[in-house]
Amino acid sequence: MNYSELWLDHASAKTDADFCGTVAWNNDCARVKNAVGELKTALTAMTGRVPELIRSANYEGRGIFLCAEGEGEAFEIFRRGETLVIKGGSAGVLYGAFALIRGLVCGDKELCTKQSPSKPLRMLDHWDNADGSVERGYSGNSFFFRDGELLVNERTVTYARLLASVGINAAAINNVNVKGPATRLITEEYYGRLREMSEIFDGYGIKLFLSLNYAAPMELGGLDSADPLDERVAAWWNARMKETFEALPKLGGFVVKADSEGRPGPFTYGRTHADGANMLARAVRPYGGKIIWRCFVYNCQQDWRDLKTDRARACCDNFEPLDGMFDDNVILQIKNGPVDFQVREPVSPLFGRLKRTNCMAEFQIAQEYTGQQRHVCYLIDWFRQVLDTRMYTGAEKDTVGDIVCGVTAVSNTGDDFNWTGHDLAGANLYGFGRLAWDTSLSAERIAREWICMYYGRDEELSDTVCDILMRSWPVYEKYNAPLGIGWMCTPGYHYGPDPDGYEYSRWGTYHKATHETIGLDRTPSGTGMTEQYNEPLRSVYADRDKCPDELKLFFHKLPYTFRLKSGKTVIQHIYDTHFEGAEEAAEFVELWKKLKDRMDAGRYERVLARLVEQSLSAAEWRDVINSYFWRKTMIPDEKGRELY
C-alpha cells in the first residue's frame, strides 16, 4: 500500500472496554455494513480479538448495537443494559461508529453522546485536473485522475473512509477550472467509473459532485452559444442532465466557476449570474441536484494605476443585487474573505447581505498562500473565528456559521504517501471535517484529537505538537505580509516573499507602500468597501483607531508611525513580528527534535525536514520584508537588529 491510512490506523491504540467483543446491527444497507466493518477493524486492532458479528433486529446482549432507521445523519450513543447502542439514520450510525472509535482511541471517559451536524453540507473541493495534475496541489498528483482516466480503486475507499470519519458528506472531485477531458465528465465516456465512485461514496454518506464547464453546450453540444436564456442551450442542459443523473443517481450536483479569471459565463451574453445558475438549477432539479455557484468573480485585468476599482468590493457588488433571485437548489459559494485565501482577511461582507439566498462558506486547506504544506499552518482556529464572526443581519443568530447552509474547503490532498505533503497538514484535513460537523468545537480540542488519532496517546507529544499547531497560523502571519495587507508573495507561484510582486500587476492586489504610508483606504473616503458591512462592523472597520490591528492595512492607508492598539508603531510592529515569527519557526525545529523517540522514523523525519525548510524560508521572509520596509522608510528598528 503506497499510502497511509492516517488517523484510521489504530495499530498502537488499546482498549479494554466491556462491549468490544460483539458488534450487532439491524440493517444491511451499505453504510451500516461499512460502520460494522470500521468497528470490526478498529476493535480487532485495539483489543487483539476479532469481535463477534451478529445481525439482529434488536440486539440486547453485551456489545455494540448499531440501530439504523432511515438515512439521517444524527446519531445517539447510549447504554441500555450491557449494550452500547448507536442509534440513528444510516449515515448517523456510520458517524456514530467513527465517534465511538475516536472516543476509544482517545481514551474518553464518556462515550455516550448525542450529535447532529451543525450544517447539512460539509464538503471538499478538489482542484484535480483530468491529466492528473492538481492546481495548487502540494501533495503530489491526483488520486482521482491520471492521463484523462478516472481512477477507482482501494485508495478511493480509504479516501471515503477518511472523509466519513470526520463527517464530510460531499466532495467535488475535479478542478473548478474545467478544461480538456474534464468537460466530458458529464458524458457516457465517464459514467461507468463515476457510478462506481458515487456508490462507494454513498456507502460512506458522501455525495459526489462534479465541476462543470459553463461552455459545455458549445464544446460538447456543438451549439454556437452558451447563453442561459437561449432555449436551445437550456434544452441541451436539460437533456444532458437527464442522461447524467439517470446514469449517476447518487450524484449530488455541480460546482460552477463562471465569469471568473478567464472562465466563460453568463456575462458573455449580458445575462446575470442568477440567469446562469437558475438555468442549470432547473436542469438538475428533477433529480434532487444542487448547483453550487462560486462568487469568486472580479475584474482580473485591473489597471494598477486605477485607485477607484477595488477587488475586495467585487463579490458584494456582483451578488448582493441578485439576492432572492436564485432558485432554491442553488447555493452561492463565498470565499471566507473578500479577496483570496490570504493568511488574514476580514470576513466577506456578502455573508451579511444575502437574506433570501442559500450560501456556503469556502475555505482553503490547500495552503496556497500559507506555506504550501512545506510550512506548518494549522488553519482551524482561523476558520472557527470566521464562522463565529457576527454579521449583524438583524436575525437573532447572525454569525457566518449561522448564516451558511454549508462549508467547503479546497482540499489539500494528493497522491503522496501521507496524502497532504506535510504530515501536520493532515490536521487541517481532519480538523476541517470535525469543525464542519460541530462548529462549536475548539481548534485546540480538534488538534488534540487528531494528534491522539495520528500519533497515539502520549501526553508530552500531544502538548508539543499541539503547541506547534496552535502557534503555527499566528507564526505564519507574523513573518508574512503585515497587518492584513496580504499578497507580498512570489507572483503566480505564491511561495516565498516578493513585497512588490503584485504591486504593478493586473490582479487588483496592491499595498501602495510609499516612503510615508502603506495600505488601502477602503473607507468611504476611499473605495467605500467598508460600507458593504452592516453596522457596527461598518463603523469599526472604517475607523482607523477601532479597526482591529490585524486588519489595519486592509482597510486603511496609514503612516508607518501610526500607533496600533498594541502601542507599537506600524513599522515597529512589522520589524517585531518578523523577527518573532522567524524565531518561532526556528523554535519549532527544536521542539520537534524532542519528539524523536516518540514516533516512528518516517513520521519524525518527514516533519523535521519540512520544519527545517520552514525555518529557512521564514528567515528569508523576515529579511526580505524587513529590508523592504527599512529601505523604503529608513526608520530604524528600535531594537537595532540587523536589516539589509
The reply on whether position 43 binds a second copy by CB under 8 A is no
The reply on whether position 509 binds a second copy by CB under 8 A is no
Q: How far is the CB of 626 from a second copy (least distance, A)?
A: 11
Q: How far is the CB of 509 from a second copy (least distance, A)?
A: 15
Instruction: Candidates 504, 535, 567, 601: give the one binding a second copy (CB under 8 A).
Output: 504
Nearest to 94 by CA among 169, 196, 6, 155: 169
Question: Which runs of consecutive H residues, i.e. helices, occur in 137-187?
Answer: 154-166
Asked whether 55 and 76 are in contact (CB, 8 A), the reply is no
The reply on whether position 508 binds a second copy by CB under 8 A is no
Q: How many residues bind a second copy (CB under 8 A)?
A: 24
Instruction: Candidates 516, 545, 605, 638: give the one binding a second copy (CB under 8 A).
Output: 516
Q: How far is the CB of 559 from a second copy (least distance, A)?
A: 12
208-216, 442-450, 454-462, 497-505 -> range binding a second copy (CB under 8 A): 497-505
Instruction: Candidates 304, 417, 495, 604: give the one binding a second copy (CB under 8 A).
Output: 304
Angle of CA points 72, 73, 76, to nearest 5°: 105
Instruction: Candidates 58, 514, 525, 566: give the one binding a second copy (CB under 8 A).
Output: 514
87-95, 312-320, 492-500, 603-611 -> range binding a second copy (CB under 8 A): 492-500
The reply on whether position 79 binds a second copy by CB under 8 A is no
54-62, 84-92, 493-501, 577-585 -> range binding a second copy (CB under 8 A): 493-501
Asked whether 211 and 255 are in contact (CB, 8 A), the reply is yes
Nearest to 169 by CA among 118, 211, 208, 205: 205
C-beta atoms surrounding 565 within 10 Å: 12
3-state secondary structure of 536: coil
User: Which one, 54 or 643, has the nearer CB to a second copy?
Assistant: 643
Pairing relationship of beta strands 22-25 and 52-55 according to DSSP bridges:
parallel
Cell numbers of 131, please?
A: 491529466
> Site map for a second copy, 582-611, x if CB under 8 A?
------------------------------
The reply on whether position 309 binds a second copy by CB under 8 A is no
3-state secondary structure 436-493: HHCCCCCHHHHHHHHHHHHHCCCHHHHHHHHHHHHHHHHHHHHHCCCCCCCCCECCCC
Q: How far is the CB of 484 from a second copy (least distance, A)?
A: 20
312-320, 361-369, 470-478, 513-521 -> range binding a second copy (CB under 8 A): 513-521
> Site map for a second copy, 85-124, x if CB under 8 A?
----------------------------------------
Site for a second copy in 613-642 (CB under 8 A): 620, 623-624, 627-628, 630-634
Q: How far is the CB of 487 from a second copy (least distance, A)?
A: 14
The reply on whether position 340 binds a second copy by CB under 8 A is no
The reply on whether position 308 binds a second copy by CB under 8 A is no
Cell numbers of 572, please?
A: 515597529
Helix (H) or strand (E) holding 233: helix 231-247
Cα separations (Å) of 637 from 499, 513, 557, 634? 19, 18, 21, 9
The reply on whether position 521 binds a second copy by CB under 8 A is no
Q: How far is the CB of 489 from a second copy (least distance, A)?
A: 12
Q: How far is the CB of 500 from a second copy (least distance, A)?
A: 5
The reply on whether position 482 binds a second copy by CB under 8 A is no
User: Which one, 270 or 504, has the nearer CB to a second copy?
Assistant: 504
Nearest to 557 by CA among 635, 483, 475, 492: 483
Q: How far is the CB of 620 from a second copy (least distance, A)?
A: 8
User: Which one, 21 or 496, has the nearer CB to a second copy?
Assistant: 496
**Chain position carrying cell 492586489:** 509
140-148, 172-180, 507-515, 552-560 -> range binding a second copy (CB under 8 A): 507-515
Q: How far is the CB of 580 from a second copy (least distance, A)?
A: 19
End-to-end CA distance of the chain: 49
Instruction: Candidates 132, 401, 499, 508: give the one binding a second copy (CB under 8 A).
Output: 499
CA distance 35 to 250: 19
3-state secondary structure of 543: coil
Q: How far is the CB of 133 from a second copy (least distance, A)?
A: 20
User: What does the DSSP 8-state code read for residue 399?
Assistant: B
Cell numbers of 557, please?
A: 492607508
Burial 11-21 (b: 16+ CB within 10 A, else e): eebebeeebbb
User: Which one, 90 or 633, has the nearer CB to a second copy?
Assistant: 633
Instruction: Candidates 73, 125, 310, 498: give the one binding a second copy (CB under 8 A).
Output: 498
The reply on whether position 301 binds a second copy by CB under 8 A is no
Q: Write out the catalytic residue numbers.
A: 261, 340, 368
Which residue type does 192 have? Answer: G
Nearest to 10 by CA among 39, 52, 35: 39
Instruction: Candidates 49, 114, 232, 515: give the one binding a second copy (CB under 8 A).
Output: 515
Cell numbers of 2, please?
A: 503506497
- Which residues does 159 contact at the CB level (< 8 Å), separation at least 6? 143, 413
- Which residues does 37 contact at the CB level (< 8 Å), separation at least 6? none
CA distance 406 to 355: 15
Instruction: Candidates 305, 356, 397, 639: give the one binding a second copy (CB under 8 A).
Output: 305
- Which residues does 394 contact at the CB level (< 8 Å), separation at least 6? none
Pairing relationship of beta strands 83-88 and 63-68 according to DSSP bridges:
parallel
User: Which one, 92 or 499, has the nearer CB to a second copy?
Assistant: 499
Angle of CA points 350, 335, 356, to nearest 5°: 35
Q: How far is the CB of 636 from a second copy (least distance, A)?
A: 12
User: Which one, 496 or 548, has the nearer CB to a second copy?
Assistant: 496
Interaction site with a second copy (CB under 8 A) = 304-305, 497-501, 504, 512-516, 620, 623-624, 627-628, 630-634, 644
